Chains A and B, each alone.
Chain A
Amino acid sequence: MNAATLFGLCGATLVGFGLYGLVTNPEPLRKILAFNLLGSGVFLVFGVVSKRAAASGLGGDPVPQAMVITAIVVAFAATAMAIALVLRLLQETGRATLSSDDPGGTDTDRGNA
């Protein structure tokens, strides 16, 4: 097994863990962490693609590397936005959940409607 395959398998495992966490965890913060795990797996896959598609004489294909930098910035911004939303939700209701029977949520709704 060469390095590219090993990293590819690691990437796939991370994607699997992340996807499982994102789907099954009810807590928003855990979902966000799972999303980051999933993202890391995808970035690793990009690295593997770069290594495998390397042109002759180059250590790696630079195009996937350029893409992955963009993707990391995007994932960072997404995480920041999600955390900001969770914090704001916590300030408003005292708890941050996604369940719709959240008493804080309905109370505020009634007050405004």
Chain B
Amino acid sequence: MPDATVLPDTTTTDGALLVLAIVLPAAGVLLSFAVGGRHVERIAFVLLPSGLVLALIIFADVWRSGHRLIYIVGDWKPPLGIALRADGLSAAMMVTMAIVICAVGVFAHADFGTRAGSVETRAPFAFWILLMAIWGAMNIVFLGGDLFTLYVALELLTFAAVPLVCLDGRAETLQAALRYLLFALLGSILYLVGTALLYGSYATLDIGLLSHRVHMEPATVAAATLMTVGLFAKTALFPLHLWLPPAHAGAPAAASAVLSAVVVKGSFFLVVRLWFDVMPGMLGPAGAQLFGALGAAAIVFGSVVALRQQRLKLLIAYSTVAQIGYLFLMFPLAFDTVSAQLQSGGALTGGMLQAISHATAKAAMFMAAGLIYAALGHDRIAELGGIARALPMTMFAFALGGVSLIGLPPSGGFLAKWLLLEAAVATGQWWWAMVMLAGGLFTSGYMFIVLSRALAPAEQPLKLRIIVPRYQEAAALALALTSLLLGLAALGPVDVFEVGRLDAMMVMPR
């Protein structure tokens, strides 16, 4: 086994930053439990921005050096020890999630803030702790270097996400949370069986080591299938999406934004890690086409159901089901028929950009929908007339989010879909291009249904229930603008996704 001798895994300079990215949120959660009450929001307000700064430093480091950041925990090298690694994919996703979580933090100040003199309640306390826990769990998902650490991260993510669904404690949301939890538990136990089988076959779960030892055999195929199905259930890929719409639509607006923008990307990221990093040669042409077909079915099904929704939040939730479909189109497009491997390149970049632009756009749309709900007291699409005049900034944010979902230039969605289309044309797979174009039409369909209602004049003068705070609207608008301007990344760091992928191949030749 040559890999044991040429193992390049040593802690790099600045590798300690990766530890900080995991320890900070964990410390925040523990400290919040200790001091309790109204200090929790203050702790979050210090820690969330420092998390963003940390993610930006890691991103700049990875981008400038062109190499991965690695930290070997306790100097115990894999296979016995645990490595934390930040490649281009992790760094870009970390920054995105930190931006979304910070914006959600600003937005949530109105709903979950603790005002001087008010009675302490349970929901804000839980919300801020769960928000920090999600941030920490996502960082472990992005940085974890072995499959078991990633399992623990997945479970942390689930345990932080499920209570967010039922923060308000209504029976309907409790039911949605329970259904979500059962789906997620089934998903993670399937993933766990897969790790057991892989460890039994190869005696390591470290991603780098495993990628060199893994080969086609029944146990590996079974493990890969189980893990993938489990992760699909957690990502809510059609036909395992049933839990998503009620959970995401029923949660408070700030929580919906986190769930839809951040949490589903965690398990999606693991699918990418598993197939692109651990076993790029195992998927095969049929498997890649199957992933694409499930994605295409998700796009069509999610969009058609979204078109028929009466309620705004449910429409956005079904739109998430459809947009998740796009993420899986990158698997057939990244499949290189010559080497029979998943290759990083335009398709992978396009897929990751889609994940990033969807995260920012969808968070903005859920926030806007939450503001509309709070102002009108309902979110029935048919009765939205006049709201664009009453809350212009909110509607603008919603529309910009929609622009990115549809994929109009210069949005991130445009760049993502353009890269995916380019890959589809280059590999001669026109049928995926058709699906993408049809998906764009569907998306514009449901966006225009909402916008035409919202821009219509009100039948009777609108009486808003609350005065919507300006900073909440600004948080939604800032995220929507991020998503819109993401297309300009084509001029800058779009090749950052490749960082670390080449490293791993060059230093550890087969």
Q: Report which A residues bind B (CB closer than 8 A).
A: 15, 22, 28, 31-32, 35, 38-39, 42, 45-46, 48-49, 52-53, 61, 63-64, 67, 70-71, 74-75, 77-78, 81-82, 85-86, 88-89, 92-93, 98, 100, 102, 104-106, 108-109, 112-113
Contact = CB atoms under 8 A, between A and B. Distances in A.
Chain B interface main SS type? helix
B174 A28 contact: no
A85 B181 CA distance: 9
Nearest to B246: A100
Given A35-B185, A78-B181, A42 B172 contact: no
A102 B174 CA distance: 12
A106 B195 CA distance: 41
A100 to B, nearest CB: 8
Nearest to A109: B172
A88 B174 CA distance: 8
Interface in B378-401: 378
Contacts of B186: 22, 35
B203 A53 contact: yes
B244 to A, nearest CB: 14
A81 B155 CA distance: 12
Nearest to B165: A85
A68 B338 CA distance: 40
B181 A92 contact: no
Among A48, A78, A102, the one with the most B-chain Cβ atoms within 10 Å of its Cβ is: A78
Interface in B416-447: none
A78 B159 contact: yes
B210 interface: no
B196 A64 contact: yes
Contacts of B36: none
Q: Which 6 A-B pairs have the closest CB atoms?
A: A49-B200, A92-B171, A108-B171, A109-B172, A89-B174, A105-B171
Given A77-B159, A82-B178, A89 B199 contact: no
B150 to A, nearest CB: 12
A46 B192 CA distance: 10
A70 B152 CA distance: 8
Given A22-B182, A38-B189, A67-B148, A92 B196 contact: no
Contacts of B163: 81
Contact of B162 (A45, A71, A81, A89): A81
Given A45-B193, A77-B159, A98-B175, A88 B169 contact: yes
B177 interface: yes
A75 B171 CA distance: 25
Contacts of A98: 175, 178-179, 182
Nearest to A66: B148
Question: Which residue of B148, B175, B182, B186 has the most chain A CB atoms within 10 A of its CB atom?
Answer: B175
Interface residues of B, number: 36
Contact of B192 (A48, A63, A71): A71
B178 A28 contact: yes
B42 interface: no
Given A63-B199, A82-B185, A92 B174 contact: yes
- Chain B CB within 10 A, most for which of A48, A63, A67, A74: A74
Contacts of A49: 196-197, 199-200
Nearest to A49: B200
A84 B159 CA distance: 13
Contacts of B181: 78, 81-82, 85
13 contacts: A28-B178, A31-B182, A38-B189, A39-B189, A45-B193, A48-B200, A49-B197, A53-B199, A61-B203, A63-B80, A78-B155, A89-B178, A109-B172
Nearest to B373: A113
B170 A112 contact: yes
B178 to A, nearest CB: 5
A22 B186 CA distance: 8
Contacts of A63: 80, 199
Contacts of B158: 78
B177 A85 contact: yes
A35 B182 contact: yes
A92 B203 contact: no
Nearest to B195: A67
A104 B189 contact: no
A86 B199 CA distance: 35
Contact of B193 (A15, A64, A77): A15
Contacts of B188: 74
B166 interface: yes
Contacts of B203: 53, 61
Nearest to A68: B196
Contacts of A31: 182
Contacts of B174: 85, 88-89, 92
Given A28-B182, A49-B200, 4 more contacts: A78-B181, A85-B177, A100-B175, A105-B172
Contacts of B169: 88, 92
Interface in B120-168: 148, 151-152, 155, 158-159, 162-163, 166, 168
Given A35-B185, A49-B199, A104 B171 contact: yes
Contacts of A71: 151, 192
A42 B200 contact: no
Contacts of B189: 35, 38-39, 42, 75
B388 to A, nearest CB: 22
A16 to B, nearest CB: 12
